[in-house]
A and B are shown apart, each in its own frame.
Chain A
Amino acid sequence: MSTYFALVDCNNFYASCERSFNPKIWNSPIVVLSNNDGCVIARSNEAKALGIGMGTPFWEIKSLVLKHKIQVYSSNYQLYGDMSSRVMNILQDSCMDIEVYSIDEAFLKLNPFKINEDQLMQENIILRTNILRATGIPVSIGIAPTKTLAKLANHLAKKSTQNGVYILEPDSDILKDIPIEKVWGIGKSFQRRLAKTGVKSVADLTKISRQWMASEFGVVGVRLLKELQGFSCYDLETPISQRKNIMVSRSFSKDVFQLSELIEGISTYATRLGEKLRRHNQSTGQLTIFLMANPFRNLRPDQKKYFSRTIELPLATCATNELISWSSKVIRFLFEEGTNYKKDRNFGWATSPFRLHSRKFICFFRQRKKT
């Protein structure tokens, strides 16, 4: 089984947030309004069923609201932000590779060693249940070999499943029934040009030749086609690629038990980090050190695998010596006797928020060493 992407999407997110705290409206139609209560920006399923469209001005639905006792909320972004970070944290705990795509969506790159579809299904049903229990937010999970297909799978998870999880294979018959406008990245003009050639369903689209796509729609079109055929062209856009965080992460070739070896290792990473920061004209005000015990032969009685600590630096820096000094302090703090640190991937650490050099604070009042 190759790599799979999952798109986790919170159902009617803003409406679900409001609902999570108010049992009286668990079964009522809900709409959430934009700033200044101008128009509808979120609807519960019940409100959608009443035909209320996204972005409808509020005054247009006033009579509907009275007639159907629709619950109307002004947007409360503090609440939605808090609930979003809870959901994303649960996702992060379940999966190392995650791209937070929006306030209510995230892509996960699923472990390719999950052997079969049943297991994949079961695990994601559990994930969904955990999120629902912890936050009260229902999510849908679409799973497929590419991000574009995962987006479609998510759509199917919402429409046609009880448990909210759908696994979509590129050769699935269901693609014959999905109109192409449901595909991520296909806009009106794209759709019109394809319709002229008789392409209506996603299955039709996957049969088009790459050369034709290339001549008509360029490289974007070809990527779209390949993604729909199950060949992944878009990887996760993790914080590393956005360069808000920089991570240096390697594994040790053998288990490491000694603090001195860890410090030696972290110093190497600190050096690499310093180089990366300077290359991008950045400094970091925050440092996270992340350690992992050997997951396949964990010697700790409690089987704890991950250890991490984040510190705020007094001044943003990109100087290797400072980075080494701070990180060895943190590692001393994290170190525990008798743990076999790390065999596989990722002994790492990330840094955020960056400041550009030019804006860097310089401290004039630091104590000077006596000469």
Chain B
Amino acid sequence: MLHLKMELPTIPAGFPSPADDYLESDLSLDELVIKDKTSTFFIRVEGDSMIGAGIYDDDILVVDRAKKTRPGHVIVAVLDGEYTIKRFIKDGKGYALKPENPHYQNIPLDKYSNFKVWGVVIAVLHDPTL
């Protein structure tokens, strides 16, 4: 005859318990990269204007919309209704969007620019396979 005996789980004291498995968090790319989950978005890159900054066509950018933009940041901007990814800089003439590719020109910004910061790039996901 088969007896199925049910028991409440035992609670070992002083031994590693299976419970610890549930406490140990898995390796999480999210936790590593993302500071604020509510304001962070992923964006796929199109184009080659930022290869000098290690941002290539088809890479994925981690973008924080709430992060305060400072000169030196790579930003996702909206310029004349189009997305663009550039480095936000301040030089002698004022603020500008700087491509990281010698084939492109800086885009100076002034009060007439139809320009808005969409978010700050906080990480790049890049597949290094050639």
Whether the pair B39, A311 counts as a contact (CB closer than 8 A) is: no
A366 touches B7 (CB 8 A): yes
Interface of A is mostly: helix
Is A24 a contact of B23 with CB atoms below 8 Å? no
Residue-wise, chain B 28-41 has the 8 Å CB interface mask toward A (1 for contact) of: 00000000111100
* A23 near B118: Cβ-Cβ < 8 Å: yes
Q: In the complex the two chains form, is B22's CB within 8 Å of A134's CB?
A: no
Closest to B18 in A: A314
A329 touches B81 (CB 8 A): no
Question: Are A321 and B19 in contact, CB atoms less than 8 angstroms apart?
Answer: no
Q: Tell me the bound Cα distance from A24 to B37 in angstroms.
A: 25
- B38 lies within 8 A of A314 (CB): no
Cβ-defined contact, B19 with A325, below 8 A: yes
Cβ-defined contact, B81 with A24, below 8 A: yes
CB pair A311 B6 closer than 8 Å:
no
Q: Is there a chain B Cβ closer than 8 Å to A133's Cβ?
A: yes
B39 near A322: Cβ-Cβ < 8 Å: no
A26-B81, A311-B22 known; A322-B8 Cβ under 8 A: yes
Question: Residue B10 at the A interface, CB < 8 A?
Answer: yes
Among B22, B37, B83, which residue has its beta carbon within 8 angstroms of that of A23? B83
Q: Does B103 contact A (CB under 8 A)?
A: no
Number of A-B contacts (CB under 8 A): 62
How many chain B residues touch A (CB < 8 A): the figure is 26
B residues 26-78 with Cβ under 8 Å of A? 36-39, 65-66, 78
B4 on the interface (CB 8 Å rule)? Answer: yes
Residues of chain B within 8 A (CB-CB) of A330 are 23
| C-alpha spacing A23/B116, complex, angstroms | 10
| B11→A325 contact, CB < 8 A | yes
Give the size category of A's interface with B: 20 to 34
Q: Please tell me if A357 contacts chain B, counting CB pairs below 8 Å.
A: no
Is B111 an interface position by the 8 A CB rule?
Answer: no
Q: Which residues of B contact A24 (CB under 8 A)?
A: 81-82
A243: min CB distance to chain B, Å: 25
> Known contacts A133-B65, A322-B8: does B118 contact A313 (CB below 8 Å)?
no
Does residue A319 face the partner (Cβ distance < 8 Å to B)? yes
Report Cα–Cα, A309/B18, bound state, in Å. 17
Q: Does B5 sit within 8 A of A, measured CB to CB? A: yes
A29–B117 Cα gap in the complex (Å)?
22
Closest to B65 in A: A134
Which residue of A has the minimal Cβ distance to B8?
Answer: A319
On whether the beta carbons of B20 and A134 are closer than 8 Å, the reply is no
Give Cα A23 to B83, complex, Å.
7
Known: A90-B38, A369-B10. A23 touches B65 (CB 8 A): no
Q: Among the listed B5, B39, B116, which residue makes an inter-chain contact with A135, where contact means beta carbons less than 8 Å apart?
A: B39
Quick check: is A364 within 8 A (CB to CB) of the other chain?
yes
Q: Are A136 and B65 in contact (CB under 8 A)?
A: yes
User: B9 at interface (Cβ–Cβ under 8 A)?
Assistant: yes
In the complex, which residues of chain B have a beta carbon less than 8 angstroms from the beta carbon of A86?
Answer: 37-39
Q: How far is the CB of A363 from chain B (nearest CB, A)?
A: 8
Q: Are A329 and B23 in contact (CB under 8 A)?
A: yes
Could you tell me if A329 and B19 are in contact, using CB atoms closer than 8 angstroms? yes
Q: How far apart are A124's CB and chain B's nearest CB, in angstroms?
A: 17
A312-B22 in contact (CB<8A): yes
B65 to A314, Cβ gap below 8 A? no
Q: Does A89 sit within 8 A of B, measured CB to CB?
A: yes
- B22 x A314 contact (CB < 8 A): yes
Q: Are B118 and A366 in contact (CB under 8 A)?
A: no
A-side residues, CB < 8 A to B, are: 23-24, 26, 86-87, 89-90, 130, 133-136, 309, 311-315, 319, 321-322, 325-326, 329-330, 333, 362, 364, 366, 368-369
Known: A23-B82, A134-B65. 5 other contacts (CB 8 A): A23-B116, A130-B66, A325-B19, A326-B19, A369-B7
A-B contact pairs, 14 of them (CB 8 A): A26-B78, A26-B81, A89-B37, A133-B39, A134-B36, A135-B65, A311-B23, A314-B18, A322-B9, A322-B11, A325-B11, A329-B19, A333-B23, A364-B6
